[in-house]
Structure 1
Amino acid sequence: MKKISGSSLSRRQFLASTAVSILFTSTSGSLARSFSGQLPWSPFAGDPPTPVRPGPWLFFTHDEAQTIEAIVDRIIPADDLSIGGKDAGCAVFIDRQLAGFFGNFERLYMKGPFAKGFPQQGLQSPILPTQRYRAGLAALDDYCRTTFSGRAFSALALPEQDKVLQELENGSIDLDDADTKTFFELVLQNTMEGFFADPIYGGNKDMVSWKMIGFPGARYDYRDFVGNHNQPYPLPPVSIMGRGDWGGKG
C-alpha cells in the first residue's frame, strides 16, 4: 500500500510527515503521585521502560497475530527504503502495548461522560483498546471468510488484502458491532507508533525507520552539529538502550 486513500504523497513523504508526531507521542506515561506529607519522588529514582524481549504473544492469539502481522506488512510494505512492518516488529509492539497499561487505559480517566468530542480531543469512548482489537479482528476474520471462500485475511493475495484495508479505511465494510473506521484508524496509528518508536518497545528493529528518515534518536549532545543547517546528521541513531555495536550500553 504505497499511497493512503489516493493521496499523492509518496511513502517516504507520508512516513516522514508522521514521524515527528509519533516520536513525541507515546502510549506510555508516568504514574501520578500525590503529596502525603513527603516528597512525591526520591533522588535518582526513575521509571524507565522495560525492554521488550522476544517471546510468545502476550495479548494476541495465534490467529489474531497472523492477521495483525499481515495488516502491518501491507500498511508498511517492504521495499528499497526499509523492511516491512512485520519484520520491523510493529505487531510485537502492538501486542506488548495491549498487554500493558495502554490496553486497558489504566492511566486515563475513564469515568465518562463519553460525548463525541472534537478531532483534536482524540477518541472519546468507553471501549478499551483490548476490546476494540479483539472485536475488530474477529469481525474482520468473519468478513474475509464469508467474502473470500473461507480464507482468513492473512491467506488473501496481497491485492485482496489491500482492497480490504482500503475499504476498512473508508468505512465501506460493515464489521457488525465493530466500529470499522475507528478500528482501522487505531491499527494504523499503532502501526506507525511501532515503526517509529524507540526499539526498546519492540518495534523499529535496528532503528530502521530512524535510519530511513535521518532521525538521530536519543543522543544527548548535538552541539557540534547545531550550526550545520540543511545538512544530514552524519552519525548513526542511538536507542534508549544504546547501539548494538556498544554492547547494549547507552
Structure 2
Amino acid sequence: MLGDDGSLTRRVALRGGGVAALAVFLPIGSAGQPIAVAGDPDAGPLFLTEDELRTLRAVVDRIVPADHHARGAEWAGCAEAIDGLLGAFLTDPPRIFAGAPFSDRAGSPVNHFAEFLPLDAYEEMAWRLRIEGSRGRPELERNGPVTGLQTIYRQGLAALDEQVPGRRFAELSGLKRDLVLRTSRNPAVTELMEHAVGHTMEFTYGAPEYGGNRDLVGWDYTGYQGDVQPRGWTREEVERRDADGGPAPPLPDVVPREQLVTALALAHPETVRGALARSDGRLSALRGEIGAVVSAAVTATREVAGAAGGVTGGR
C-alpha cells in the first residue's frame, strides 16, 4: 500500500522485503552489518552528550516514526542503543557480542543473551577501529586512515543542529526534520545517515538485549515471535494456520507494474544476501546493487511480454 504522499508505507515495506527493500525507497542511510550492544533507554548517555543524544533521538524518530499501529524507534530506545555502541569499550567486557544459546523468553532459567562475551585481541582491534577510528595510529593505518563511528556521529549530529540557524534539529517539527534530512548536502549529515538508518533498523527489530526493541515493540509490530528456544514449537503450532491467516488478498489495481517487478526481484533471499554482501553495508552501494537487480528484472519482464505479444499476434 502507498501512503497519501505516494510513498511506500512502513508496514508494507517491512513485510514485503525488510531493510533491502527499504533501501530502494529511502533517500539516505545504511543497511549496515549486524551489531549487538545492550543499553538502558532510561539511563543517561554513555558516550554522547545530553544535547547530542537529544538530536539523535530526533533522527531515529524520522527513520522509524511512530504511527497508529505502533511506537517508533525513539520510544524503542534506539538512540540510547546507538550511544551504547559508540561507548562499547567503556564497559568490561565490551558490549559487542551477546552470549548464547538462549534468552529467558522461552523456558530457559538464564538469559544468556544478556551475558556479553569478551573479545580476543583481533576482535578488539577490529571493533576499536570501526568505532573509534585509526586516530593517526600507524599500526591501524596500513590501509589508510579510518574515520570511526564516534567521529561520524558526533560530526553529523553537530551538522544537523547547524542546519537551521537559531533552532536545534530536535526542536523542529517532524515534517521539517524530514525536509532537512532529505535536502541536506552537508557531507557530515550524509555520512551520519549512511550509518544511522541501518543501526536504527537493527536496534528497532533486533533482540532487546542488543539495546533497542524496548518491550519487544519491533517484534510485536511485525508479528515476529522472537527467539523460541529451548521451548521451540509443537507440531500443532507448526501445522496450525495462523489466526489471521488465509489466502492473501489480491493486489490492488493501482499497483504499477514497476513496483510489482521491484518486489518480485527482491523476493529471493540469495538475491538479497548477495546485494548486501557486495554493498559492504553502505546504502549508496546497496542502492546500486539493488538497482541493477531491479533493472534486469524489468528488462526481462518487458522481453517476456514482447515475446508473448509476438506469439499472440502470429496466431
- TM-score range normalised by the length of the shorter chain: 0.5 to 0.7
Equivalent-residue separation in structure 1 for 2:39 and 2:168 (angstroms): 32
Q: Alignment RMSD, CA only? A: 3.5
Unmatched runs of 5 consecutive residues or more in structure 1: 29-48, 115-124, 235-250
Please list, as runs of the form range in 1=range in 2, the aligned pairs for 1:141-156 lying within 5 A after superposition: 141-145=161-165, 150-156=166-172
Unmatched runs of 5 consecutive residues or more in structure 2: 22-29, 90-95, 97-123, 135-139, 246-315
Matching of residue 227 in structure 1 with residue 243 in structure 2: no
Equivalent-residue separation in structure 2 for 1:50 and 1:153 (angstroms): 26
Given that 1:216 and 1:233 are in contact with CA atoms closer than 8 Å, whether structure 2 keeps it comes out as no
Q: Once the two structures are superposed, what CA deviation does each residue of 1:38-65 show, in whole Å capped at 9, x if it has no partner?
A: xxxxxxxxxxx76647421101111111
Matching residue's letter, 1:12: R
Given that 2:69 and 2:221 are in contact with CA atoms closer than 8 Å, whether structure 1 keeps it comes out as yes
Q: How many residues align?
A: 188
Given that 1:112 and 1:126 are in contact with CA atoms closer than 8 Å, whether structure 2 keeps it comes out as no
Equivalent-residue separation in structure 2 for 1:144 and 1:105 (angstroms): 34
Matching of residue 99 in structure 1 with residue 122 in structure 2: no
TM-score with structure 1 setting the length: 0.63
Aligned partner of 1:71 in structure 2 is 59
Structure 1 residue corresponding to 2:192, chosen from 159, 172, 183? 183
Structure 2 residue corresponding to 1:127, chosen from 147, 150, 156? 147
Given that 1:52 and 1:200 are in contact with CA atoms closer than 8 Å, whether structure 2 keeps it comes out as no
Equivalent-residue separation in structure 2 for 1:51 and 1:68 (angstroms): 15
Given that 2:207 and 2:213 are in contact with CA atoms closer than 8 Å, whether structure 1 keeps it comes out as yes
% identical equivalent positions? 32
Equivalent-residue separation in structure 1 for 2:216 and 2:19 (angstroms): 13
Given that 1:89 and 1:202 are in contact with CA atoms closer than 8 Å, whether structure 2 keeps it comes out as yes
Higher gyration radius (CA): 2
Q: Which runs of 4+ in 1 moved over 6 A?
A: 19-22
Equivalent-residue separation in structure 1 for 2:183 and 2:212 (angstroms): 26
Equivalent-residue separation in structure 2 for 1:233 and 1:200 (angstroms): 29
Structure 2 residue corresponding to 1:193, chosen from 198, 202, 205? 202
